[in-house]
């Protein structure tokens, strides 16, 4: 069997679904953490080796916290047609929007839990993580849905999009706070690029039309490659009203995840996110696809970057914010689309780091805190949970699942967002494979 790094080491899939209750806790769980930490990731069934990391079937892992206790852990595959081998393409050549692996993210909106994969419809799951089925917003969603929607912290509206390698390349979508789809409009002027994420401000939508574009010669099953002849652009569009986009040329780059964006002075827009150059992107892609010459450990060539976009002048200014190789950025969700100085990142070995770590960047002060995970340990994305009566941007906690190869074990860490110190550790009943994105869902959001 070909060497596939994304099913080895920290990423070895688990073969079954289990439940456990009354989990052991070291330290003290903040008593106001009453809800569920849910995380998604790719976990193919036993005996199946996908051609790309992103094509492994989605599996959800959940931990319920209440009253200072860890009440349960459970894991469930998202039971989509793809789990049992249904092809993405129908016999007539059209896409089956339900043939999703649903393995990228899980969110709550309008009282529903949705497992997301950007080429397909979302899949609704129950609070206990059992699959309900594809969710199409009462028949109003007729295209795929990004795995990175943005919920405005003031209005509760959900902003998202659909992208495609074929026209229409980009569709803008909005659901209100109750979960009703209220807007669906084609955005003209985009191209067949890999648009994994986007950003919003209080007044704008930011689109990323960058040089990783549709290419059928890519054989990994994710048909996109970097093309130097494709012009890199970032688009600025009004959040409400017109879908007219001001496209601003930028230096060639790839961006999988945005950190945040906000309105700046004089009509400018500030956008932040991990930026890949071509070498960093192609090295990372080799690991994700298990291509010949791929590295043994996951890498990211991305580094934290800021763009100041000026739509009036059609110009952009780029600033490198840090030199560590990082991705999976998170912020206090109450600052989404608003000015923010603090962000949290998963850091990878390289650029001076010899092990995995969590990193806090303070772009106002120009400082960072690095919290190494320890030998044989890999933390995932750090989900920010705001403190109930928080005032400062970092009043809250970070939740992340750590995979420990030396102990063949995992724990859910609760860290103080001020200094990345560990507040509590929840012992999980098995080693949980390293995954991708997750959410904290307060009990109040699930009725």
Tell me: the pLDDT tens digits for 6-20? 999 999 999 999 999
196 a known binding residue?
Answer: yes
Tell me: the pLDDT tens digits for 417-442? 999 999 999 999 999 999 999 999 99
Q: What is the pLDDT of residue 447?
A: 67
Q: What is the pLDDT of residue 324?
A: 95
93 pLDDT higher than 60: no
Q: Supply the CATH classification number for the domain 5-446.
A: 2.120.10.30
**In the predicted model, what is the mean pLDDT of the chain?**
95
Q: What is the average per-residue pLDDT within 298-305?
A: 85
Q: Tokens standing for 319?
A: 């600033």
Percent of the chain with pLDDT over 70: 97
The three-class DSSP label of residue 443 is helix
Q: What is the pLDDT of residue 85?
A: 75
Residue among 279, 281, 239 at smallest CA distance from 261: 239
345 a known binding residue?
Answer: no
| 299-to-287, 348, 421 alpha-carbon distances in Å | 7, 6, 25
Q: What is the pLDDT of residue 1?
A: 43
Tell me: the pLDDT tens digits for 358-398? 999 999 999 999 999 999 999 999 999 999 999 999 999 99
* Long-range Cβ pairs for the range 411-419 (8 Å, 24+): 412/37, 412/63, 412/70, 413/379, 414/27, 414/29, 414/30, 414/33, 415/358, 415/371, 415/382, 417/332, 417/344, 417/360, 417/384, 418/392, 418/394, 419/369
437 a known binding residue?
Answer: yes
Tell me: the pLDDT tens digits for 311-351? 999 999 999 999 999 999 999 999 999 999 999 999 999 87
257 a known binding residue?
Answer: yes
22, 69 Cβ separation under 8 angstroms: yes
């Amino acid at each position: 069997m070909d060497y596939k790094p994304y099913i080895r080491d920290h990423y070895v899939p688990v073969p079954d679904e289990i439940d456990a209750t009354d989990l052991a806790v070291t330290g003290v769980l903040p008593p106001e953490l009453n809800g569920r930490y849910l995380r998604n990731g790719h976990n193919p069934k036993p005996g199946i080796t996908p051609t790309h990391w992103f094509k492994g079937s989605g599996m959800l892992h959940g931990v319920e916290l209440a009253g200072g206790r860890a009440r349960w852990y459970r894991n469930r595959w998202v039971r989509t047609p793809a789990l049992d081998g249904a092809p993405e393409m129908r016999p007539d050549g059209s896409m089956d929007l339900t043939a999703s692996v649903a393995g990228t993210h899980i969110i709550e909106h309008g009282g529903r839990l949705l497992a997301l994969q950007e080429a397909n419809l979302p899949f609704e799951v129950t609070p206990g993580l059992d699959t309900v089925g594809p969710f199409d917003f009462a028949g109003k969603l007729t295209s795929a849905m990004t795995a990175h929607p943005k919920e405005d912290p003031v209005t509760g509206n959900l902003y998202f999009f659909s992208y495609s390698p074929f026209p229409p390349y980009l569709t803008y979508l909005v659901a209100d706070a109750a979960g009703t789809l209220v807007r669906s409009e084609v955005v003209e002027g985009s191209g067949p690029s890999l648009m994994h994420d986007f950003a919003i401000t209080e007044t704008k939508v930011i689109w990323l039309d960058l040089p990783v574009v549709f290419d059928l010669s890519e054989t990994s099953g994710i048909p996109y490659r970097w093309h130097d002849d494709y012009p890199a652009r970032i688009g600025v569009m009004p959040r409400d009203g017109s879908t007219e986009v001001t496209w601003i040329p930028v230096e060639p780059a790839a961006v999988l995840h945005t950190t945040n964006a906000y309105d700046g002075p004089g009509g400018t827009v500030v956008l932040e996110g991990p930026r890949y150059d071509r070498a960093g992107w192609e090295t990372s892609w080799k690991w994700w696809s298990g291509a010949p010459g791929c590295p043994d450990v996951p890498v990211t060539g991305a580094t934290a970057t800021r763009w100041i976009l000026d739509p009036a002048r059609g110009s952009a200014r780029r600033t490198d914010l840090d030199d560590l190789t990082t991705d999976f950025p998170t912020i206090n969700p109450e600052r989404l689309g608003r000015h923010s100085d603090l962000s949290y990142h998963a850091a990878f070995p390289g650029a001076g780091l010899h092990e995995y770590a969590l990193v806090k960047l303070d772009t106002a002060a120009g400082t960072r805190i690095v919290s190494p995970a320890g030998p044989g340990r890999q933390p995932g994305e750090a989900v920010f949970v705001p403190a109930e009566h928080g005032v400062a941007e970092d009043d809250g906690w970070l939740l992340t699942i750590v995979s420990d190869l030396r102990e063949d074990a995992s724990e859910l860490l609760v860290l103080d967002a001020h200094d990345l110190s560990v507040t509590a550790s929840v012992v999980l009943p098995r080693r949980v494979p390293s995954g991708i994105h997750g959410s904290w869902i307060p009990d109040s959001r699930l009725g």
